[in-house]
Structure 1
Amino acid sequence: MTQIICLANALKYGDRCIAGIDPTTGQWIRLISDLADGRITPEMRLIDGQEPALLDVLEIPLGGSNLTELENRSLLPGVWKRVGRVAPAEVLQYCSESEILHNAEKYVTVTALNALPLSERRTVQLVYAQEFSVCSKPKAQGGRSWKGSLVTKTGQTLTNAIITDPVLIDRLDLGNFLQTPCLVTVSLGMPHRPATGWEGDDPCWKLITGAIELN
């Protein structure tokens, strides 16, 4: 069993993508199921019928690291446990002040990511956001789609990244906005080319997969 501090429980193809920090190593772990796209279903993740929440300390049966992404760990059969919870201040130590996932763009191409040494290939990052703002537009099927923009205290920026944290989306739908500063988990999605007008390599878009208020 491996412990993680949950820092992302985000929407992924109708199910979830879950990631967190191993408190013994300080390294990121993203859970990958044996489904084709690696998503985590309710049968895999619910603990006594409840979703894992950000800042929960989870105990999860995991296999070894993926050979192409060190952060990816295979989910093994077994029961998940919630064994504790940490305060927001306790995860400040895991924030990175470097560029947000390798560059100042809203995406990283597959080619650029694969060109990096495996030890430097990051696909998920915790960011201290000095400023955080959102915008939205109606969805055809109802509700609203939300995007977030942030500025770190070292001046790194991310603009109009899609928010996939369902708890944050529900909160924003009710008109409750985040107080700053806050902690934001930014992850790379799977490669996705826009329907029209895209030239060049396949992009992996930066997504906001978790947000935690410090106050």
Structure 2
Amino acid sequence: MKLDRIVCLANSYKHDHRCVAGISLNSKKWVRLVSAEIPGCISRERTCYSDGKEAKALDVFEAELKSPCGTHVHPEDVFVSSKQWRRLQRLERLADTEFLAEFLNPEPVVLEGYSDRISVHKFQERPARMSLGLIHPEDLWWWIREEKGKRRYRANFRLGQVARIRYDLSVTDPDWKNQLNLLPAGIYPNSMFCGGRVSKTFLTVSLSEAFEGFHYKLVAGVINLHA
């Protein structure tokens, strides 16, 4: 086991538990922290610091990592020990975009393709190269809609200076869903959430587990940096 410092870029819903992912400052690579007790997930309680607050996007925290446990779909997975995480600092200034820019996905591709999903057959033939990515979207809108008595939240945006590919992905970031839940159904520009300040928005995208023959691309983290 070894101590590592993690820049948290997502703490999202995953089934009844959480998916915590970010950049290891030791390896400068993506990691998804999972527990041995819950396959592919970690409990919400395990994502909390000693003060009871959950790890949030842009937190830098210390965690004790055990062994890699990557799968053919989620190669970044690593077991984390039961030792409580320790928050060190936050990256929340506009200047911190320089650090995040080092890990941006090559545009305009999001996780190996232009669609919002990937067939399970693809990864049966060839393991995924990555299941986590960071993007800097343009023309970003938030779509709240009602379906069969349930609320659905989508991120609609463009990516790429030339191709201008438009994506429409489901949102699983708990904090961002709480913000959207205060609004009636509709489509809202991202600028509405920036309070008139100079800001940059990044999205952490993650591949889901298999569901009805596909792995879906999800917005697992919404990151706003303000001047």
TM range (shorter): 0.7 to 0.9
Residues 32, 131 of structure 1: alpha-carbon distance in 2 compared, 3 angstrom cutoff = same
In structure 2, what is the Cα distance between the partners aligned to 1:141 and 1:40?
A: 29
Residues 38, 100 of structure 1: alpha-carbon distance in 2 compared, 3 angstrom cutoff = same
**2:220 is the counterpart of 1:209:** yes
Matched to 1:9, the amino acid is N
TM-score, L = length of structure 2: 0.81
Tell me by how many angstroms 1:159 deviates. Answer: 2.8
Tell me by how many angstroms 1:192 deviates. Answer: 0.1
Residues 177, 80 of structure 1: alpha-carbon distance in 2 compared, 3 angstrom cutoff = farther
Matched to 2:110, the amino acid is I
**2:132 is the counterpart of 1:132:** no
TM-score, L = length of structure 1: 0.85
Instruction: Report percent identity of matched pairs.
Output: 25
Matched to 1:82, the amino acid is R
Contact kept in structure 2, 1:21 and 1:29, CA below 8 Å: yes
In structure 1, what is the Cα distance between the partners aligned to 2:115 and 2:27?
A: 29
Structure 1 partner of 2:24: 22
Matched to 2:215, the amino acid is C
Over the residues paired in the alignment, what is the CA RMSD in angstroms? Answer: 2.2
Tell me by how many angstroms 1:135 deviates. Answer: 1.4
In structure 1, what is the Cα distance between the partners aligned to 2:157 and 2:41?
A: 27
User: What does the per-residue CA deviation read over 1:155-174, in whole Å, with 9 as the maximum and x for residues that have no partner?
Assistant: 46353311000111111223
In structure 2, what is the Cα distance between the partners aligned to 1:177 and 1:170?
A: 17
Structure 2 partner of 1:122: 130
Match of 1:60 among 53, 59, 63: 63
In structure 2, what is the Cα distance between the partners aligned to 1:129 and 1:214?
A: 13
Q: Which runs of 5+ in 1 are unaligned?
A: 194-201
Query: Relative to structure 2, which stretch is displaced further, 151-160 or 125-134?
Result: 151-160
Structure 2 partner of 1:32: 34
Contact kept in structure 2, 1:171 and 1:177, CA below 8 Å: no
SS of the aligned residue for 2:18 comes to strand
Structure 2 partner of 1:101: 111
In structure 2, what is the Cα distance between the partners aligned to 1:17 and 1:71?
A: 12
User: What does the per-residue CA deviation read over 1:173-202, in whole Å, with 9 as the maximum and x for residues that have no partner?
Assistant: 234853375200110010001xxxxxxxx2
The number of residue pairs the alignment matches comes to 204
Provide runs of 4+ in structure 1 moved above 4 Å. 139-142
Structure 1 partner of 2:43: 41
Residues 115, 61 of structure 1: alpha-carbon distance in 2 compared, 3 angstrom cutoff = same
Tell me by how many angstroms 1:64 deviates. Answer: 1.9
Structure 2 partner of 1:186: 205
Matched to 2:216, the amino acid is W
In structure 1, what is the Cα distance between the partners aligned to 2:149 and 2:85?
A: 33
In structure 2, what is the Cα distance between the partners aligned to 1:149 and 1:56?
A: 26
Structure 1 partner of 2:153: 146
